[in-house]
A = this chain, B = another copy of it.
C-alpha cells in the first residue's frame, strides 16, 4: 500500500527503500507532532529492524525536500509535522502538553510589515504561544504575563490536533 507521504516522496524523485516506506507510512498516519524517537518507536511496530540513525537521516531528508517540517517547541528535541501550504503556528498547553494549531492572516500581515519597516525580507519565522486553559487557570506558577485580552474583531482560526 502506498501511503500519502510515500507518493509525495516518489514525486520528489526519492529512492524508496523499505525503511523509508515505513517511515512515510508512520508520518502519514500521525496527526500529532512526534519527535524522532517517537517516529522510531512507531516505525518499529511495523518493522523491527529500523535503526534510529536511519530515522534521523530520513527525517532530515524529508525536511530537505519539504515533505515534512521541523517544529521547535522549545523542549530540547526536534518535532515534525507534514509540510503544508497554510502557514500556522502553535499554542502549547503547558498543563497537558497538547498542541493546538492556529493561523492568523492578520498576524502574518503585521509580521510582514514589521520586517519590511526594518528593511528586511522574511525568509522564515516562528511563533509559539504557551498557555493554560482559561477554566482551571488557578494554581499555576509560570512567569505570567499581564495585559488582559484586548484588540478588535475576530479573525484567528484554531484547529486542534
Q: Which residues of A pack against B, CB within 8 Å?
A: 66, 72, 74, 87, 91, 93-94, 100, 102, 104, 106-135, 137, 140, 142-145, 147-152, 154-156, 158
Q: A158 and B102: CB pair below 8 A? A: no
Q: B123 and A126: CB pair below 8 A? A: no
Main secondary structure of the interface of A (DSSP, over half): mixed
- Report which residue of A115, A123, A145, A151 has the largest number of chain B beta carbons within 10 angstroms of its beta carbon: A123
Known contacts: A119-B134, A132-B121, A144-B123. The answer to whether A112 contacts B156 by CB under 8 A is no
Q: A102 and B118: CB pair below 8 A? A: yes
Residue of chain B at shortest CB distance from A101:
B118
Residues of B within 8 A of A145 (CB): 87, 122-125
In angstroms, how far is the closest chain B Cβ from the Cβ of A50?
26
Q: B106 and A110: CB pair below 8 A? A: yes
A104's partner among B72, B114, B155 (CB-CB below 8 A) is B114
